[in-house]
Amino acid sequence: MRCKLCRQKAVYAPLRFCKEHFLAYYEKKVRRYLESTHTRNTSILIGVSGGKDSSALAEVLAGLAEEYGLKLGLLCIDLRIPDYSDKGTAVARTIAKRTGLKLHIVDMRDWPRATPDFANKKPCGPCGTLKRYLLNKVAVEEGYAFVATGHNLDDEFSSALHNLFQRNVGQLRRSQKKLPPRPELKLAGRVKPLYYLTEKENRLFCLLRGIPHDADECPYSMDNPQLSFKKRAVFGRDEKRNLLKSIEQLQRPAPDIPVGEEAGSLHACPSCGYATTSKDACVFCKLMTGER
Ligand code: SF4
Ligand SMILES: [Zn+2]
Ligand SMILES: [Zn+2]
């Protein structure tokens, strides 16, 4: 198969691109995200796990940082999952060296009470909470305006569909492609620059650019209900993109009501001061005090 633009050998069958044109397409999608969300002249803490998505994200953003005026840093949370976390942390260190970005590491040995019980059959719920909490906490403490995650089109599509199936409309309205910072709630903003790129495209970007990444999945991923749902949600790239675009339209705020207000009653946790939707202390504080 030949590239549809230059007739060189194609490396990406779905769009018939050669290496050079695939890399240009990939970067164009990230530029489009930054431009459509007006993400410029700001600071972003990128969560890196060592997997293909977050590694690709760190490298592509590092390449665009100067042009878009982005001050970037990396955060790796070492969950201490046996036979898994060490590899991810090692990759994060290599990515930091390659990109020259500052790497913050949170070692779960420092948070023994909050560490999910990985022997438990369902560690993913608390693990996800913990990762979101710590990413935000480090961003706020270190002065980053936004956190960036490697969420891709497949992740966003399956979580949107899951929320629809669960009638989880509040969550659906909150999971937008960009959320602004809310300093009064110690809440960093959120950006997902790989929002319109698929998992396959991120993997290929890593391979073509020689970006190190750990191809292994977390040993608990089989117990992760969101991941198993994702495997069932088999649709084409355009269908996925179109569903997300439809949801974006639905997410536009109703007149006079800011989306953040309407979508959930976010307030400051009485114990740690970070934003939460739970009625009293946030889940993290409950974990710390053994209430959960
Ligand atoms: S699969 Fe579950 S346990 Fe493993 S890192 Fe993801 S959320 Fe945590
Ligand atoms: Zn080409
Ligand atoms: Zn709290």
Cα atoms in the Cβ-side hemisphere of radius 13 Å centred on 233: 23
pLDDT tens-place string over residues 27-41: 999 999 999 999 999
More confident residue, 261 or 46: 46
Q: From ligand 2's centre to the CA of 204, what distance in Å?
A: 15
Domain locations in the chain as residue ranges: 30-263
* pLDDT level of residue 263 (50, 70, 90 thresholds): very low
In the predicted model, is pLDDT for residue 126 greater than 90? no
* pLDDT level of residue 257 (50, 70, 90 thresholds): low
Q: Which ligand is nearest to the CA of 22?
A: 2
Rounded average pLDDT over 148-164: 93
Q: From ligand 2's centre to the CA of 8, what distance in Å?
A: 6
Surrounding residues of ion ligand 2, Cβ less than 5 A: 3, 5-6, 8, 18, 21
Residue with tokens 């410029």: 40
Predicted confidence at residue 259, as pLDDT, reads: 52
Minimum CA distance residue for ligand 1 atom 1: 221
Q: From ligand 3's centre to the CA of 121, what distance in Å?
A: 25
Give the CA diameter of the chain. 62
Q: Does 51 sit in the ligand 1 pocket, CB within 6 Å?
A: no
- Report whether 58 contacts 74 (CB < 8 A): yes
Q: Does 284 sit in the ligand 1 pocket, CB within 6 Å?
A: no
In the predicted model, is pLDDT for residue 152 greater than 60? yes
Predicted confidence at residue 260, as pLDDT, reads: 53
- Report whether 173 contacts 262 (CB < 8 A): yes
Provide the 8-state DSSP code for 217: P
More confident residue, 111 or 193: 193
Out of 22-26, 102-106, 145-149, 218-222, pick the least confident.
Answer: 218-222
Provide the 8-state DSSP code for 11: S
Predicted confidence at residue 83, as pLDDT, reads: 87
Rounded average pLDDT over 117-135: 87
Residue 178, beta-bridge partner list: 191
Would you call 244 helix, strand, or coil by DSSP? helix
| Fold classified for 30-263 | Rossmann fold (3.40.50)
- Report whether 164 contacts 25 (CB < 8 A): no
Q: Which ligand is nearest to the CA of 269?
A: 3
Mean pLDDT over each residue of the chain, to the nearest integer? 91
In the predicted model, is pLDDT for residue 71 greater than 90? yes
CA 145 to chain centre: 15
- CA dist 126 and 21 (Å) reads 41
Rounded average pLDDT over 93-98: 98
